Amino acid sequence: MKIHNIPPEDVLKSLFVSEKGLTGKEAESRLSEFGRNEIKEVKKKSLVKKFLEQFTHFLAILLWIASFFCFLSEYLHPGEGMLTLGLAIVGVIVINAIFTFIQEYRAEKALEALKKMLPSYVMVLRDGQERKVPAAEVAPGDIISLSEGDRVPADARLIKASGLMVNNAPLTGESESLPRNADRFDGELIESPNIAFAGTAVMSGSGKAVVFATGMSTEFGRIAHLTDAVEAGLSPLQREIVKVTRVVAVIATLMGVVFFALGHFIGRSFWENFIFAIGIIVANVPEGLLPTVTLSLAMGSQRMAKKNALIKTLTSVEALGSVTVICTDKTGTLTQNIMSVREIWFDGRAMDIADENIKKAGELLRIAVLCNNAKIVDGGYRGDPTETALLETGLKLLGDVNAERILEIPFDSDKKLMTTVDKIVKSDPEASGQLLTSIFIAHTKGAMETLLPLCTRVLINGKTMPIDTIREQLITTYNSMTGKGLRVLAFAFKEIENSFKFQVSSAKLKEKNSSLVTHHSLLEKNMVFAGLIGLEDPPRPEVPQAIEKCREAGIRVIMITGDSSRTAEAIAREIGLVRENPVIIEGHEFLKMTDKELRDAIKGKEVIFSRMSPKHKMRLVSVLKDEGEIVAVTGDGVNDAPALKKADVGIAMGMTGTDVAKESADIILLDDNFATIVNAIEEGRTVYENIRKFVSYIFSSNIPEIVPYLAYVIFRIPLPLTIIQILAVDLGTDLFPALALGAEKPLPEIMKQPPRSPEERLLNFPTLSRAYFFLGPIEAVAGLFGFFYVLKSGGWQWGEMLSLGNILYMQATTACLTAIIITQIANIFACRSMKESVFTLGFFSNKLIFWGIAIEILLQLFIVYHPWGNAIFGTSPIGPEIWLILSLFSVILFFSEELRKYITRKVDF
């Protein structure tokens, strides 16, 4: 018989597993036999194919065409140096391909390393003990525990289920949650309600199941057509870089054509004009820009990971810099998620947990222990922090509580209640001797405003009395406790009459979800109110400073919590989120509001949402986005997934978050800390600004590369800078300092500026005008000065044309190239900030810049003084006095930019 056709009691036997689960050796043996529990990609693009693709993109094709014409011209008109130029351009294509491939490979490996930082884990029963193991190490025969928010790791047959609902969307495409049970099923496997399939999500309830298929043997593995690996698309920033690069290339080509025609018109030869046209194209095209940007984003992701923010997509790095609103949970994000019982109300009075009379609250503490899903595992408490605090306190004061759970109605985020039915054995006072009898008691805990209306009586000093006699005192006490920032839970119970016992017993045997619905209304009414317990969850110490940072950065923070309004406001004031009179919207008010009313409400400076259900976040995020806000939202539960996907930046909790939430999010907080979100936003802004810095740096050298060609055509002078020397700058000396700029630390003012508009372009007018009309012209003047200074010193006369092999000519072009390199050294310091002085930033605060400069100088020394460098780049050694004279232009550029920044700061002030 098939696994789903047999009754639950025979499942373990059929898979040769004991009730204690597999032993460690059995698990290893089965892993060896069946393989790791992984879905394998059948086909992935090879490294060779990825490398070859670097030779066929838009810029490469443009350069291939240029090299073809060079070789053709050498064939038709030999002796003009076209062969050398053609080989140089082919060299550029190869060098650029290698550089791009290495950068993309490093970026890919960096992202893979980040993914490995957060493996998926599963609770399995081995050697009779529950333990957490990586999902990839689950073997056939493993008994696994399933609870709300889990991603099912393998195909498994249920042997126990309590209110279990799963979402089979990854398998069937249907998003509706389906009930699961442990009963045998005679239909098809795929339709069986007793099977939890790999890749599906547990939406509510809990259960135990035995794994019978793993990896590629699962239903998901069979139908997952992974013959073609999904290609990750370019991020908006990368697309912008591609677009800009292509536009620049097209403009450069048009410029080449126009000046080719102009040269022909003023009498230049075809080959002179052809060299000019190729030079203009090569000088303008930023060959190494895209791979440098990609690597910078990947480096930013790695830096964020070190700060406990795991970035799943490069797009998220950009989006972080634009965030205007953070919708954050309170518990565990703003607070420490370390719950402890602080105050209790019972028998008509409130007392501190340290009060010696606290042990008299026996019934209240018993409910806290029994209506609870926390467990003791390996000597420690495991489960929801609220429940672990209740369990720890109850067991500490009462000792062991003997009872058998018969039924559970799981916590409902709408009703904010959880109920269990427990069988308690006690002596019968009416019988003689030690006759024991079993009683069934419903225990309920939840929100005060939901539970109090379900109670008709209250327990005072061991006796029950009408609830109305003490209702006002209860409400006053509740308000007092929540006003202290405590999370307050109410507790109630009800003994179930004999006529109900059979129904409960049958519910236990059937374990069907329909039984929960049947008994729901019967259990949770006419209850006896037992008391209140107030729990404290202290704020994280870093949060107040992070909140202040957000305020200075123009980012609004909206608290969303399931706690009461008073608790939420008290915590909000403690952390500095609220200073005035906030807009507080409770869940029931939220449901009644129209979208227009909600839009008006969220325009307030300080907004808190209390008693909210996670599933309502989706609507709030949608309304905020409709108002033009860039929204980051936190979440950890299954119901948070739609909001995490809808938000511009979805942020899941790494420590307490469910698998479903983590898969839906863009960023995973490894420490669940709100301050980490703010640090990630700061890093996101910094990454974007750093990219803009090195783009400005790279584009600045375009002007001193273009101007010599314009002078060559218009003034009929020897060409001051050869194409090969341009390539030495673009693909040699510029690259390492540019990468160093990508590692700049956040500027002091980065979190004192308003969020960046998504419409703001990377290459905006201020950036381009600074590069093309301010820094670039200074470098161009330096280059031409060096060129003419060497020519005049050697006796050159205006109008005299020099051959390519002339020593004086080669020294002059060397001086022009050296001038560009020297001024670019000053430019790297200039580009570290658009407004802040280098002296304010700290001259030595980015040590990578000095490594970049050192490599830049070493490369230039090789080009100028080594015979190989002379031969490749057409250079000739120059005297040290030339370096000294050209260094003055570096000083001029540096202090000119410092003056511009000073004026800009004064104008802005």
pLDDT in tens, 291-340: 667 667 777 777 888 888 888 766 677 778 889 999 998 887 888 878 89
Per-residue confidence band for 517, with pLDDT thresholds at 50, 70 and 90: very low
Q: Which pLDDT score, from 0 to 100, does residue 858 have?
A: 94
pLDDT value at 229 more than 60: no
Please state the rounded mean pLDDT for residues 266-276. Answer: 72
Please state the rounded mean pLDDT for residues 354-363. Answer: 87
- Percent over 90 (pLDDT), the chain: 29
Q: Which pLDDT score, from 0 to 100, does residue 654 have?
A: 79
Q: What angle do CA 493, 494, 496 make, to 5 degrees?
A: 145
pLDDT value at 434 more than 70: no
For residues 830 and 57, what is the distance between their CA atoms, to the nearest angstrom?
Answer: 33
pLDDT value at 509 more than 60: no
- Percent over 70 (pLDDT), the chain: 85
231: CB partners within 8 A, 6+ apart: none
Q: Which pLDDT score, from 0 to 100, does residue 292 have?
A: 66
Spatial contact of 260 and 277, defined as CB atoms under 8 Å apart: yes
Q: Which pLDDT score, from 0 to 100, does residue 727 have?
A: 74
Pairing of strands 607-610, 556-560: parallel
CA proximity to 763, closest of 320, 20, 411, 246: 246
Q: Which pLDDT score, from 0 to 100, does residue 720 have?
A: 92
CA proximity to 337, closest of 636, 644, 680: 636
pLDDT value at 877 more than 90: yes
Which helix (DSSP H) or strand (DSSP E) does residue 270 occupy? helix 270-284
pLDDT value at 516 more than 60: no
Q: Which pLDDT score, from 0 to 100, does residue 860 have?
A: 93
The beta-strand segments (E) located in 393-486 are 404-412, 417-427, 436-446, 455-460, 463-466
Q: Which pLDDT score, from 0 to 100, does residue 811 have?
A: 95
Other C-beta atoms lying within 10 Å of the C-beta of residue 667: 28
DSSP string, 813-873: HHHHHHHHHHHHHHHHHHTT-SSS-HHHH-TTS-HHHHHHHHHHHHHHHHHHHSHHHHHHH
For residues 646 and 775, what is the distance between their CA atoms, to the nearest angstrom?
Answer: 43
* Range with top average pLDDT, 103-107, 252-256, 426-430, 459-463: 459-463
For residues 639 and 413, what is the distance between their CA atoms, to the nearest angstrom?
Answer: 9
| DSSP annotation of 679 | H
Please state the rounded mean pLDDT for residues 875-892. Answer: 94
pLDDT value at 679 more than 90: no
**If you search the block for the tokens 């019934």, which residue do you land on?**
363
Per-residue confidence band for 416, with pLDDT thresholds at 50, 70 and 90: confident
| DSSP annotation of 165 | E
What global pTM score does this model have? Answer: 0.72
Per-residue confidence band for 499, with pLDDT thresholds at 50, 70 and 90: very low
**If you search the block for the tokens 């010193």, which residue do you land on?**
793
Per-residue confidence band for 496, with pLDDT thresholds at 50, 70 and 90: confident
* 3-state SS, one letter per residue, for 644-675: HHHCCEEEEECCCCCHHHHHHCCEEECCCCHH
CA proximity to 832, closest of 819, 818, 846, 812: 846
Q: Which pLDDT score, from 0 to 100, does residue 227 have?
A: 31
CB under 8 A, 24+ apart: contacts of 513-518:
513/163, 513/164, 513/165, 513/179, 513/181, 513/205, 514/179, 515/407, 516/163, 516/407, 516/409
Please state the rounded mean pLDDT for residues 205-216. Answer: 89
Per-residue confidence band for 558, with pLDDT thresholds at 50, 70 and 90: very high
Please state the rounded mean pLDDT for residues 737-756. Answer: 83
pLDDT value at 849 more than 80: yes
Per-residue confidence band for 785, with pLDDT thresholds at 50, 70 and 90: very high
| DSSP annotation of 751 | G
* 3-state SS, one letter per residue, for 503-523: HHHHHHHHCCHHHHHHHHHHH
DSSP string, 79-136: TSSHHHHHHHHHHHHHHHHHHHHHHHHHHHHHHHHHHHTS--EEEEEETTEEEEEEGG
pLDDT value at 821 more than 60: yes
Joined tokens for residue 617: 């976040």
The more confident residue out of 177 and 869 is: 869
Segment 685-732, tens digit of pLDDT = 888 888 888 888 888 888 898 888 788 877 878 889 887 788 788 767
Spatial contact of 531 and 364, defined as CB atoms under 8 Å apart: yes
The more confident residue out of 8 and 393 is: 393
pLDDT value at 515 more than 50: no
Strand partners, 465: 458
The more confident residue out of 280 and 545 is: 545
pLDDT value at 580 more than 50: yes
Q: Which pLDDT score, from 0 to 100, does residue 875 have?
A: 92
For residues 636 and 656, what is the distance between their CA atoms, to the nearest angstrom?
Answer: 7
CA proximity to 494, closest of 395, 427, 412, 424: 424
The more confident residue out of 272 and 525 is: 525
329 as an active site residue: the answer is yes
Joined tokens for residue 82: 């076209």
Please state the rounded mean pLDDT for residues 76-88. Answer: 71
For residues 721 and 786, what is the distance between their CA atoms, to the nearest angstrom?
Answer: 11
pLDDT value at 366 more than 90: yes
- The total number of residues shown for the chain amounts to 909
Q: Which pLDDT score, from 0 to 100, does residue 623 have?
A: 92
Q: Which pLDDT score, from 0 to 100, does residue 511 have?
A: 44
Please state the rounded mean pLDDT for residues 581-591. Answer: 90
Please state the rounded mean pLDDT for residues 28-37. Answer: 90
Annotated active-site residue in 142, 155, 329, 659:
329
Q: Which pLDDT score, from 0 to 100, does residue 723 have?
A: 76
